[in-house]
Amino acid sequence: MSKTPVQAEFIPPPIQKTVYPPPFAALVEGRQKRKLGDYFGLSNFGVNLTQLLPGAISALLHHHSKQDEFIYVLQGNPTLVLEDQEYLLSPGVCFGVKAGSGVASQVVNRSNAVAIFLEVGDRTLGDEVVYPDDDLWARQMSAGVWEFTHKDGNAY
């Protein structure tokens, strides 16, 4: 935990790139997150500096039951996928998804250049995540640990 200002790009990305189980972990291989909020010991909300290589995705298409999400584009032209709609984003564009709305989203980099954006989300415990296009369901357990199962409840 830092008590002084720091350049965001100097905050190291975590060693574990994702909490997704196989085979889903491979789908976010071109994503790098620097957990800025964790670096400063923030506990009420998280802030990630996320970089997507060309062709990479931020996450599987998903929606949260209890946690709000917000993105702000810093560089590049990623595509925001909302259900069956797509929006080409550019630096300065932002978007938020309210928890419990049932609106599934993801950010995809379909461009030939790196995309960088800030992700902000709260850390309300007991969150559940639905992945409408995949056989995956997530539930946040105590201490913020995520449990992933098939939609029928069987473990991965």
Q: What angle do CA 141, 117, 44 make, to 5 degrees?
A: 35
148-154 long-range Cβ contacts below 8 angstroms, 24+ apart: 148/19, 148/20, 148/21
Peptide bond preceding 23: is omega within 30 degrees of 0, i.e. cis?
yes
For the segment 52-110, what is each residue's pLDDT rounded down to a tens digit? Answer: 999 999 999 999 999 999 999 999 999 999 999 999 999 999 999 999 999 999 999 99
| Domains of the chain, CATH where assigned | 15-125 (2.60.120.10)
Which one-letter DSSP state was computed for residue 14? P
pTM: 0.94
The pLDDT of residue 144 is above 90: no
For the segment 2-41, what is each residue's pLDDT rounded down to a tens digit? Answer: 779 999 999 999 998 999 999 999 999 999 999 999 999 9
